[in-house]
Structure 1
Amino acid sequence: MSMGFSPFDGGFNFLFTLIPIFIVIIFIVVIVGIISSGARYVKNSSSPRESRFATISSKRMDVRHHTTHHDDNFAHSSSSRTYYYITLEFDNGERREYLDVKNIYGLVREGDSGYAATQGDWIVAFERSPGHHPSGGVQF
């Protein structure tokens, strides 16, 4: 008969309660992320395409890394994805950043002016104004 306190009595019960809670929280975060990404895609793809005169005020890249470790054989896999963003400044002084979904990032540079076609949070085309650059425009 043991009358002493064992640290494992309450600890294991606590862990068996805590671990399922963490699993549920992680599951909820993943599901919410998937749903919000899907909702954002649907919103952008169903938005009307607008064309406005603008100047490219800046460009940036966002590189996201994902690494998965496998403890049983010490192997891991990693991947990365680069997102390209273009900030437009419109005639009224408004600036807005758009995600490049049509691979025009490398075809334009800061300071270019012309007509930008946007769809929701996406930039889908950019045509330089005549006379701005001898190379003409980038159309899709």
Structure 2
Amino acid sequence: MFVIISNLKEWSKNNASPVLTVPAKVVTKRTRTSGGAGDSSASTTYYITFEVQSGDRMELRVSGREYGQLAEGDFGLLTFQGTWFQTFERQKRRAAINFALSFLYTLMQLQLLKIVQPFSRFLNQQR
């Protein structure tokens, strides 16, 4: 009876909560397996901990499919309602940042070559 009342309270609270979409990062993943003793089948529950921009973390229950598709370190837009996970739209933020840094590094190298090559020619002429 206590479990039913507890679940009803949680459902009511989640249902009254606004649906929020926030930038977040996948911090960690875990599973909980129950059953499987004797002739009973085992069931697995999947959880992902997300960190939002404020530094707050929340652990949400997700489907096995979502659990399998997300990796620790993924960035994206998390949509949730209370403690109910809705979606996580992965962003290619890390790839975009790496590309931009690589591009800037290449530009810096090219600029250095423009400066160094004439100086190198000058030194070779002085020999």
Which bracket does the TM-score occupy, shorter chain normalised?
0.5 to 0.7
Distance 1:35 1:102, change over 3 A: farther
Is the contact made by 1:102 and 1:124 (CA closer than 8 Å) also made in structure 2? Answer: no
Q: What amino acid maps onto 2:84 in structure 1?
A: W
Partner of 1:16: none
Q: What amino acid maps onto 2:7 in structure 1?
A: S
**4+ residue runs of structure 1 moved beyond 4 angstroms?**
none
Count of aligned pairs between the two proteins: 96
Is the contact made by 2:75 and 2:93 (CA closer than 8 Å) also made in structure 1? Answer: no
Which structure's residues are more often helix, by fraction? Answer: 2
Partner of 1:90: 52
Task: Please report the TM-score for the alignment, with normalisation by the length of structure 1.
Answer: 0.58
Alignment partner of 1:123 is 2:93 = no
Is the contact made by 1:102 and 1:125 (CA closer than 8 Å) also made in structure 2? Answer: no
Percent of aligned pairs sharing the same letter: 34
CA distance in 2, matches of 1:60, 1:123: 15
Shift of 1:37: 1.9
Shift of 1:61: 0.6
Partner of 1:110: 72
Q: What does 1:2-81 correspond to in 2, within 5 Å?
A: 31-65=1-35, 77-81=39-43
Q: What amino acid maps onto 1:99 in structure 2?
A: R
Shift of 1:43: 2.6
Q: What amino acid maps onto 1:126 in structure 2?
A: F
Task: Please report the TM-score for the alignment, with normalisation by the length of structure 2.
Answer: 0.64
Please, which runs of 5 or more residues in structure 1 have no aligned partner? 1-30, 68-75, 135-140
Is the contact made by 2:75 and 2:92 (CA closer than 8 Å) also made in structure 1? Answer: no
Q: For 1:21-77, what per-residue CA distance to the aligned partner results, in whole angstroms no more than 9, with x for missing partners?
A: xxxxxxxxxx1112212322333244221000010000111112276xxxxxxxx64
Please, which runs of 5 or more residues in structure 2 have no aligned partner? 97-127
